[in-house]
């Protein structure tokens, strides 16, 4: 079957594509920024088309000849009204699918009862998207899942950091009362692939979950045991609201507030598979227990095999705008700081030093200041430095790198990072590597800032003396590291 995956750059989509290929399907990936798929291992085996669900015209040609669509996009975590964005995206996709003669839409939504008045905004929006997709002539198979346990999933990373960072914590009362039925990412992928071969699944809402039904406190206890940690002291209190809990999650975990808030809100609802909608009526499959799912996720994180993450999603940051291939510098004031250094190190050695920056290695110059800046960013609701990086040596376009995101990656000549910390404007950090006729290698480091209003201009000039020292030390130490590798 020829299938289209809308959301192939996201956490689930990026893992679903190779599973579909292994099952023998032809795959077309629809992405707002196709370059973000350039570095993935399965890229040569798929067709990639530029398309955005918020622009219906871009979907019309992209869906021609497609039999089944996987709809895996979600605006949660962006600034503004994510419910409205999700509604528009679903409407555009439904209409484009009808025009293209698509035979099925498969949508991954969220568990929870059908009454929107009793659901969190996040879950109510997930259900609404399913209804909007189904409000047409194309049959929809809606799979509903609760917490997805897998290396790099937002839910798993929230659980992992809460337990690993805090030996004791004060929690809202729902942590010990609300029931949840988590499911391993491997099982989610199995069900997603299986349903397109089952005609009876068309037009149905099917609920998926693992064999365990437990509270969030139970999940934290299970994680601590699997990770070899002492049991955590958890004190439930009635006055801790979801809003306060979300700020706490933002401070302790890599998740920004805009993503933590809908996740925390959803945990206040019971999310358990109902017998009448249990997918096991149609698919004979035994899902992993929570203990096994956690152990598998920890093993993947430990040996650096994590292929996708919640950070992969362009909507996983706090910016609603698509990530451009090249920043738009036109119009307005631009501030720059340029540092240039020559070296006898090869371009490859120099690029390896540059592209290895951040994460566990740190930033080579003034690391304590970078850490402080990360904590300040978390306090005001930003992403902070806890995201780290997907792999200590490998990067690709779209990767999160501490509180930056990789915007351009051209080995061995260019690496550009776009800042995602809270700043009054837009900020980029770029390295270009070139070689002259004599064989001398030059590293050009460019810090660029597009200020927003008076506050942005003040931010640049107040911090410029400190930044100039840090940037000078940074470029010099990158060159020194490259020369040491050469030696």
pLDDT of 134 above 60: yes
Question: Which stretch of 31-35, 59-63, 259-263, 318-322 has the lowest confidence by average pLDDT?
Answer: 318-322
Query: Which overall architecture, per CATH, does domain 333-486 show?
Result: 2-Layer Sandwich (3.30)
Mean pLDDT of 424-441: 88
Reply yes or no on domain 2-315 having CATH 3.40.50.720: yes
Question: Which stretch of 36-40, 203-207, 347-351 has the lowest confidence by average pLDDT?
Answer: 36-40
Confidence of residue 163 (pLDDT cuts 50, 70, 90): confident
The confidence score (pLDDT) of residue 323 equals 32
Confidence of residue 187 (pLDDT cuts 50, 70, 90): very high
Structure tokens at 380: 């005001």
How much of the chain exceeds pLDDT 70, in percent? 87
Mean pLDDT of 248-255: 70
Q: Give the whole-angstrom CA distance, residue 323 versus residue 409.
A: 13
191's CB contacts (< 8 A; 6+ apart) are 143, 206, 208, 279, 283, 285
Per residue in 290-314, pLDDT tens? 999 999 888 776 544 555 554 555 4
pLDDT of 320 above 60: no
Average predicted confidence (pLDDT) for the chain = 85
| 80 φ/ψ sector (left φ>0, alpha ψ -120 to 50, else beta) | left
Confidence of residue 332 (pLDDT cuts 50, 70, 90): very low
Q: Give the whole-angstrom CA distance, residue 366 versus residue 387.
A: 19
Closest CA relative to residue 388, chosen from 380, 379, 377, 399: 399
Identify the helix (H) or strand (E) that includes residue 456: helix 453-486
Q: Tell me, what DSSP letter sits at residue 250? A: H
Q: Who has greater pLDDT, 332 or 269? A: 269
Q: Tell me, what DSSP letter sits at residue 227? A: T
Q: Give the whole-angstrom CA distance, residue 386 versus residue 161.
A: 10
> Which residues of 26-155 form beta strands (DSSP E)?
26-31, 47-50, 68-71, 104-110, 140-145, 148-149
The confidence score (pLDDT) of residue 331 equals 36
The confidence score (pLDDT) of residue 121 equals 80
Q: Is the pTM of this model over 0.95?
A: no
- 26-31 and 2-6 strand pairing: parallel
Q: Which of 147-161, 256-270, 297-311, 324-338 holds the top average pLDDT?
A: 147-161
Per residue in 63-109, pLDDT tens? 999 999 999 988 654 555 678 889 999 999 999 999 999 999 999 99
Per residue in 357-373, pLDDT tens? 998 889 999 889 998 99
The confidence score (pLDDT) of residue 412 equals 92
Query: CA-CA-CA-CA torsion for 176, 178, 184, 190, nearest 10 degrees?
Result: 170
pLDDT of 341 above 80: yes
Beta bridge partners of 426: 450
Mean pLDDT of 129-147: 95
- 148-149 and 183-184 strand pairing: parallel
pLDDT of 211 above 90: yes
Q: Who has greater pLDDT, 187 or 333? A: 187
Q: Is the peptide bond before 147 cis (omega within 30 degrees of 0)?
A: no
What stretch(es) of the chain map to CATH 3.30.530.20? 333-486
pLDDT of 327 above 70: no
What stretch(es) of the chain map to CATH 3.40.50.720? 2-315
| H-type alpha helices, 234-289 | 242-252, 257-266
Question: Which stretch of 251-255, 327-331, 452-456 has the lowest confidence by average pLDDT?
Answer: 327-331
Structure tokens at 463: 């911090």
Measured from the Cβ of residue 168, the count of other Cβ atoms closer than 10 Å reads 8
The confidence score (pLDDT) of residue 335 equals 83
């Amino acid at each position: 079957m020829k299938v289209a995956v809308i959301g192939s750059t996201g956490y689930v989509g990026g893992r679903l594509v190779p599973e579909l290929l292994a099952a023998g399907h032809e795959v077309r990936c629809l992405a707002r920024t196709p370059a973000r798929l350039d570095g993935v291992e399965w890229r040569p085996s798929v067709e990639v088309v530029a398309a955005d669900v918020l622009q219906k015209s871009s979907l019309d040609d992209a869906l021609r000849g497609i039999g089944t669509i996987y709809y895996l996009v979600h605006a949660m975590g962006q600034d503004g009204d994510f419910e409205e964005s999700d509604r528009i995206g679903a409407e555009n996709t439904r209409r484009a699918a009808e025009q293209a003669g698509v035979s099925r839409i498969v949508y991954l939504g969220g568990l929870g009862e059908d009454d929107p008045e009793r659901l969190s905004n996040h879950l109510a929006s997930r259900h609404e998207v399913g209804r909007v997709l189904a409000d047409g002539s194309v049959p929809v198979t809606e799979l509903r899942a609760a917490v997805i346990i897998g290396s790099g999933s937002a839910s798993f990373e929230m659980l992992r950091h809460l337990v690993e960072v805090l030996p004791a914590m004060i929690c809202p009362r729902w942590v010990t009362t609300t029931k949840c039925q988590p499911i391993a990412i491997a099982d989610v992928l199995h069900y997603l692939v299986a349903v397109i071969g089952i005609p009876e699944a068309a037009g149905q809402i099917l609920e998926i979950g693992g064999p365990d039904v437990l509270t969030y406190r139970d999940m934290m206890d299970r994680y601590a045991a699997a990770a070899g940690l002492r049991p955590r002291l958890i004190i439930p209190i009635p006055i801790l609201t979801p809003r306060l809990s979300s700020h706490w999650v933002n401070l302790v975990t890599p998740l920004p507030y805009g993503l933590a808030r809908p996740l925390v809100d959803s945990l206040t609802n019971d999310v358990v598979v109902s017998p009448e909608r249990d997918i096991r009526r149609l698919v004979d499959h035994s899902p992993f227990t929570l203990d096994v799912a956690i152990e598998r996720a920890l093993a993947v994180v430990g040996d650096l095999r994590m292929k996708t993450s919640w950070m992969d999603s362009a909507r996983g940051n706090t910016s609603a705008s698509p990530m451009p291939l090249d920043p738009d510098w036109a119009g307005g004031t631009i501030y720059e700081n340029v540092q240039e250094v020559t070296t006898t190190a090869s371009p490859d050695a120099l690029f390896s030093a540059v592209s290895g920056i951040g994460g566990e290695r740190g930033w080579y110059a003034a690391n304590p200041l970078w850490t402080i800046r990360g904590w300040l960013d978390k306090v005001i609701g930003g992403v902070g430095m806890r995201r780290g990086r997907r792999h200590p040596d490998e990067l690709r376009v779209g990767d999160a790198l501490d509180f930056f995101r990789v915007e351009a990656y051209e080995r061995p000549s260019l690496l550009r990072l776009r800042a995602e910390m809270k700043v009054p404007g837009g900020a980029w950090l770029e390295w270009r590597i070139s070689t002259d006729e004599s064989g001398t290698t030059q590293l050009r480091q460019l810090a660029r800032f597009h200020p927003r209003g008076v506050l942005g201009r003040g931010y640049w000039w107040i911090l410029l003396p400190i930044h100039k020292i840090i940037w000078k030390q940074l470029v010099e130490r990158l060159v020194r590291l490259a020369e040491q590798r050469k030696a």
